[in-house]
Amino acid sequence: MAKKTHLKVRMVPESNPDSKFVYYAKKPTKGEKAKEKLKLKKYNPNTRKHEIFVEKNYHHIVNNYFFLNFLYS
């Protein structure tokens, strides 16, 4: 099986990381851009403005969700 060339990352607003609105983006697994955090300028409907969105660890959140469901089922 081939290695993955992109990862799915969760983008949250830089000004309010606890916001319910998020974007998902693809990030390369190799090269210079893989080592630094991804920053994108996107529209935030909560504030009705374009803002900087930064990468937040998506896989950690997903793995915890499935692990907790496994424990409590």
Q: Where are the domains of the chain?
A: 6-72
Q: Would you say 24 and 12 are in contact if contact means Cβ atoms under 8 Å apart?
A: no
The pTM of this model reads 0.72
When the candidates are 3.40.50.300, 3.30.70.260, 2.20.28.120, 2.20.25.90, the CATH number that belongs to 6-72 is 2.20.28.120
If you average pLDDT over residues 2-16, what whole number do you get?
Answer: 91
How many angstroms separate the Cα of 10 from the Cα of each of 5, 47, 55? Answer: 17, 19, 6
pLDDT given at position 65: 61
Phi-psi region of 48 (alpha: psi -120 to 50; beta: other; left: phi over 0): left
pLDDT per position as a tens digit, 23-63 = 999 999 899 888 899 999 999 999 999 999 999 876 655 55
pLDDT given at position 69: 62
pLDDT given at position 56: 87
